[in-house]
Chain A
Amino acid sequence: MLEIRNLTVSIGDKTILQGLNLTVRDGEVAALMGPNGTGKSTLSYVCAGKSGYNVTSGEVLLDGVNLLELDPDVRAARGLFLAFQYPTEIPGVATMTFLKAALNAQRKQRGEEELSTPAFMKKIKAASDMLGIKSDMLKRSLNVGFSGGEKKRMDILQMALLEPKFGILDETDSGLDIDALRIVADGVNALRAPDRAFLVITHYQRLLEYIVPDTVHIMAQGRIVRSGGKELALEVEKSGYKNYEATAAA
C-alpha cells in the first residue's frame, strides 16, 4: 500500500528526516511513535504534499505511484488522507459547504459524477451520527471556535466521508476525552478494510488499546529505529525512548 524509501527531508539547512524507510501493507494499521520533535508531523506533511520542505532523496509510493511528484489535491483524490495534529481554522467557510466541495472535488478528479444533494446529506448524517457531531456544528465556519476535541472529530468525519485508501492520523488522540477517544477509535475501526491501511501517530499506548495496531514503529532523530508488533508500544510506555535515541545516534 504505502512504501517510503530512503526519505531525506530538510527545512532550511536543518535535516529532519534522514533516510527514512517504512512499509505499510494493505489492510494494516501501523502505529508510529517517537519523541517530540523527531519528525513525525514532518513525515505526514511531506506525504500530504505541504510546500516548504526540501526532499533531497527518496520516494513515497502509494500503490506504486510516487506521491512526491503530485499536487496535494491529486494525492487526496488518489486516496491519501491526513488527519492533522492541528486542524486548520477556516473562517467564513461553512463546514457543510466545505464537505460538499471536498467530496465533489475528489469525485471530479477521479472522473466520477457529483453526488446529488440528498445522497450527500445521507452520507453526512451517517458519518456525523457515528461520531456524535451535532448538525449545528456543520453550519458553523470550519473548525472556527471548535474545541480541540471537536476539531479532531471533524477531521475524522472528513475521513469517514472521503473514504481514503490510506489514512495518516497525526496525534488524533491528543485533546480527546475518554468518551471521544472511544468514539473516534470506533470510527477508525469501522473504516478498517482489507484494501485500506492507516498510519497512526501517537504518544500514548491508550489509543492503541482501542485501535489495535498490526505493527508499531519507533522513530527517533528522523528515521525508524525499531519495528515490531503491538507489544513494542507497551515497552515504550514502560521505559521511554532513551534506548532508541542511542540507537539512532549510533
Chain B
Amino acid sequence: MTSLFDYLLGLGDDALVAAQRTAEWCARAPQLEEEVALANVALDQLGQARAFLGYAGELEGAGRDEDALAFLRDEAGFRNAQLVELPNGDFGTTVAKTLFLAAYQKLLFSRLARTAEPRLAGIAAKAAKESAFHVSYASAWTIRLGDGTPLSHRRMRDAVEEVWPYTHELFEPWTAPEAGLDPATLREPWLRVVEKVLGEATLSRPQDGWAATGGRHGRHTEWLGPLLAEMQSVHRAHAGARW
C-alpha cells in the first residue's frame, strides 16, 4: 500500500513519460494523418499527467506544482512503470506500447472513476474516455500491421514480443487506500481485450517469461535517465525562472 501522493505520482508519471515518448513522433510519423493522430494521443497523455501531478502537488502541500514535480525530480523519484520508458522503436513498437498501456489505463481509470475520492474520480472519469480512444486507435493499427504485409506482420510480432515483458508490472500490487483497487484484478479483463486484438491481427500472445519490475519504486531502465535529462534541461538551466 502506498500513499495517495505516491499513487498520483505513479499515474501522472505513466502519462508524462508516455506523452514524452509519443510526442517524439512529431514531424516523423509514417503518414500526415498519423501526425495528427499521434499528437492527439500525446496531448491526452500530457493532460492526464498534468491533472494527476497537479493534484499530487496540492495534496503534498509543500509548494510543488506540476512543473516542479515534472522537472525537478530525479530518476529515482519517478514512479512510472518501465513500459512507458521503452524507446519508440518503429511504428509497430509504439503501437504495441500504446495498446498495452491504454488498455490498462482504460480499465484502471474506469474503476477509479467510481472511487469515493472525488478529485481522483473526476480526473479518472475524463481520462478513461481518452484512453478508450487510444485503445481503439492502437487496436486498429495492431490489426492492420499484424494482418498487413509479411514484413509488417514480422515487425508487429517482434514489437509485441519486445514489449510484452513490461506489461506484467502494470498488474503488480501497488495501490493507495483511496483507490481501493488491486491491480491484479485488471489483468484478466486486460488479457481479454489484448488477446482479441492480437487474434484479429493474426498474432499470438507471447509466452510469459522474464518480467520487468521496479518502476513503481523508482528503479528504472537505462532509457529513463536520458529522457529526463532532455526533458528537464531548459527548466533546470534557469532555476526559479517563469515560463
* A and B co-occur in one complex: no
Measuring CB to CB, which residues of chain B are less than 8 angstroms from any residue of chain A? none
